[in-house]
Amino acid sequence: MTPNPADQAVIADFHALSGFGETERGGVQREAGTEPDGGQRAWLTQWLSSRGFTVEFDQIGNQFGMLELVPGAPYVLVGSHLDSQPRGGRYDGAYGVLAAAHAANRLAGLWRDAGRTPQYNLAVVNWFNEEGSRFQPSMMGSSVYTGKLDAETALATRDLAGVTVREALEDTGCLGSGRGPEAACYAEIHIEQGRILDEEDTTIGLVESTWAANKYHLVVHGEQSHTGSTVMADRQDAMLGAAHLVVAAREIADAFTETPLHTSVGQMLIHPNSPVVVAREVRLHLDLRSADENVLAEADAMLHERFPEIEKKARVRIEKATAHSWGVLSYNPDGVKLARSAAEDLGLSHRHMMTIAGHDSTNMKDIVPTVMLFVPSVDGISHNEKEFTKDEDICAGVDLLTEVVSRLADGDLTG
Amino acid sequence: MTPNPADQAVIADFHALSGFGETERGGVQREAGTEPDGGQRAWLTQWLSSRGFTVEFDQIGNQFGMLELVPGAPYVLVGSHLDSQPRGGRYDGAYGVLAAAHAANRLAGLWRDAGRTPQYNLAVVNWFNEEGSRFQPSMMGSSVYTGKLDAETALATRDLAGVTVREALEDTGCLGSGRGPEAACYAEIHIEQGRILDEEDTTIGLVESTWAANKYHLVVHGEQSHTGSTVMADRQDAMLGAAHLVVAAREIADAFTETPLHTSVGQMLIHPNSPVVVAREVRLHLDLRSADENVLAEADAMLHERFPEIEKKARVRIEKATAHSWGVLSYNPDGVKLARSAAEDLGLSHRHMMTIAGHDSTNMKDIVPTVMLFVPSVDGISHNEKEFTKDEDICAGVDLLTEVVSRLADGDLTG
């Protein structure tokens, strides 16, 4: 079957977008505020401007492509993020922004042709730094937009090379001012980052709630010494303490066989990280996630029981620098119904599901009615260059997002 | 007791030298080829030149202060290294270079006053990059001098920021040419980096041999994925594999209760090291050391037995990138006798011992007769800002080194 021109345009644009920061193995590397991130943002500005959208950056570099049809009315925001992990996949975030741009552009055309205006204005959004690999915390742009994070604090955050968010935004020409357009509601589409839709051969995931999560930033304090000559019993080895934490996190996950618990340590900053020095300090991020708050609480207790034992084994002190946690949080149930009805009308297979990963929609749902949609990701591969979603799912997702945003713009969810 | 002027000069110079790269907590940070390393090398050039020594740098930045008294004769080399670990101690290496300078200068005066010439010429040496924290391998300068490492390979080595040894040497004005003066024999004095002399209240350690060591550069290969959403069973977590190696190394050390085995992992390079990405690759240095070659062989076998088990647990592949090992290696026994006799003549308490840490003398002993001496280090603290050696031991060490070098220059060891 030859794809229709609208689908062809989505696929062609997705290929163009995937060229920014492309890696040898078919992935992308465009961390927030880097040169390829600036490049793709300029590309999006051009794409939106040439189609009649007014593009603006807010105080934290969120990029908005606005279509003001009802002077003074709030906006339906639709989008995701273009930034990626180092050697990340092409679809994560970028697909959602591109789908939003195509959905908004289609609706603009439909409304123009029909000579009618919706209840709300419409804006495509590309949130700044959702990934949080270069600058922590993740979901930075939507956190500032929703008032959960102070803009000045975010702008002063430094990457490991000492560059601030403010400098990175200035360097890429993406530092604006103000707080962006006022939102009436929000919609986002994303690849699943799990195997459920792929294994069940279902096209659409209707996200009902988040997994619960406890995230810790831990500092293991030891004492620097010579790796060779220091007597083993004298060592206060921060690296050993950190290694025990990594192993403990995995053992705790393996203890839950009925309801899955996900645990991980993805980053360690080791000081001084010299081959011949016992580490004096290791800073690491450890997180626990589950769909069941009771499982999470039990796992958390198990982790805390391990701390004194690890402190004794490695002769270190474990400091909890920051802790960030959330429960199983619902998306707007009427939004789920609206999206299900739209999927049914388009004849797309669908199922309700939870999201394990965080998204900008996780922030947005706390301030406005929010719809979150998933499309399948083959083998559930995520944060990896091999991430892949089929063109037919890409296109079906854009069709559904267009229908959902159309209904949101007409006030179907907000009355 | 008021110190004599010669001792006062040693202590005063040691304080001056400790100002280069000094840290808030009384240590020093002057990794090889950094600005403070360049500063202290310029200071040493000035110190030696003003006392009649000819200062030259060789092709790998080893610094020589030469006193040519017997035209064309080879040199007694005496020295150590001025570079330090990050937040290292003031004594490690630097004491040995300063002691060498004072010993050489005293002998120059004695020979001048006595109107006689020794059998050999005399040169103070400050070896480049003994520590190996910024550029690997450690003992780089003496490895090139002794022909164990190719100069071009060493010059092309990069630090983590991509700077080459050649660039660092050029930037600090320390890149010379040639192979330095020809050595007839070598002497070095160093702090013990262990507790034995301190606990036994002995002033001098006469080093008979090295511990045996097996050093591995291991690469743990995993697969990048999302820390939150990836099903635990699907993960191929390089960080988990590395953590198991760190824990295994410690468990293996703890298994040897009779004869000590020292094991450690001091450095890990984690990719991509993002808080929300399961690591695809971790590169680490793991080493095993023992005074007993049989213990080392047994420990090494235990380590290798753990590899497949860890590969299975973390679903990773462990690659041995490089391996470097040595046995229990003797220093020249006549050199030990010569040093013992000198210590007895000076009335200094002494004992025979082994060195666990590597030193430039470990390289030099393979090409010329070499004497290695230790002075006590309080509580055996090493590679730490709290490293401390008493002034009286500092001064006794210089006295002994002067006597040893005097005998070496007169050909007592080389006939």
Integer Cα distance of A106 and A88 in angstroms: 29
Cross-chain Cβ contact B277/A232 below 8 Å: no
CB pairs under 8 A between A and B: 235
**Quick one: average pLDDT of B8-28?**
96
Confidence of residue A3 (pLDDT cuts 50, 70, 90): confident
Which of A243, A261, A381 has the CB atom closest to B243's CB atom?
Answer: A243
What is the structure's pLDDT at A322? 81
User: Is the Cβ–Cβ distance between B72 and B121 less than 8 Å?
Assistant: no
| Tens-digit pLDDT profile for residues A284-299 | 999 999 999 999 999 9
In order of A45, A407, B257, B261, the CA distances from B254 in angstroms are 61, 66, 7, 8
| Tens-digit pLDDT profile for residues A149-196 | 999 999 999 998 999 999 999 999 999 999 999 999 999 999 999 999
Nearest to A128 by CA among A363, A330, A404: A363
What is the structure's pLDDT at B414? 87
Confidence of residue B3 (pLDDT cuts 50, 70, 90): confident
**Quick one: average pLDDT of A234-249?**
98
Listed by number, the residues of chain A in 206-245 with a beta carbon closer than 8 Å to a beta carbon of chain B are: 211, 213, 223-232, 234-235, 237, 239-240, 242-245
pLDDT surpasses 80 at B240: yes
Rounded to 5°, the CA angle B279-B285-B289 comes to: 145
Q: How many angstroms separate the CA of residue A58 from the nearest CA in chain B?
A: 26
What is the structure's pLDDT at A400? 98
pLDDT surpasses 70 at B249: yes
| Tens-digit pLDDT profile for residues B65-115 | 999 999 999 999 999 999 999 999 999 999 999 999 999 999 999 999 999
Write down the mean pLDDT value for chain A.
Answer: 96
Dihedral of alpha carbons A264, A269, A271, A274, sign: positive
pLDDT surpasses 60 at A341: yes
Bond into B74 cis (ω within 30) = no
Rounded to 5°, the CA angle B215-B218-B220 comes to: 160
**Quick one: average pLDDT of A353-358?**
94
Cross-chain Cβ contact B383/A268 below 8 Å: no
Centre a 10 Å sphere on the Cβ of residue A299 and count the other Cβ atoms it contains: 23
What is the structure's pLDDT at A415? 73
Cross-chain Cβ contact B132/A276 below 8 Å: yes
Q: What is the largest CA-CA distance in chain A?
A: 82
Centre a 10 Å sphere on the Cβ of residue B12 and count the other Cβ atoms it contains: 10
Q: Is B365 on the interface with A (CB under 8 A)?
A: no
Integer Cα distance of B34 and B171 in angstroms: 8
Q: DSSP secondary-structure letter at B320? A: E
Q: Is A116 on the interface with B (CB under 8 A)?
A: no
Q: How many angstroms separate the CA of residue B298 from the nearest CA in chain A?
A: 18
Range list of β-strands (E), A168-316:
183-191, 204-210, 212-221, 225-226, 261-271, 277-278, 281-290
Confidence of residue B12 (pLDDT cuts 50, 70, 90): very high
Preferred mutation among B87, B225, B274 to probe A, highest tally of A CBs within 10 A: B274
Residue type, B240: L
Confidence of residue A1 (pLDDT cuts 50, 70, 90): low
| Tens-digit pLDDT profile for residues B29-49 | 999 999 999 999 999 999 999
Nearest to B121 by CA among B84, B78, B92: B78
Cross-chain Cβ contact B289/A228 below 8 Å: yes
What is the structure's pLDDT at B183? 98
Integer Cα distance of A415 and B282 in angstroms: 53
Residue ranges of domains in chain B, CATH in brackets? 5-211+329-409 (3.40.630.10), 212-326 (3.30.70.360)
Strands A121-126 and A75-80, how do they pair?
A: parallel
How far is C-alpha B187 from the geometric centre of its chain's CA atoms? 14
Confidence of residue A324 (pLDDT cuts 50, 70, 90): confident
| Tens-digit pLDDT profile for residues A190-207 | 999 999 999 999 999 999
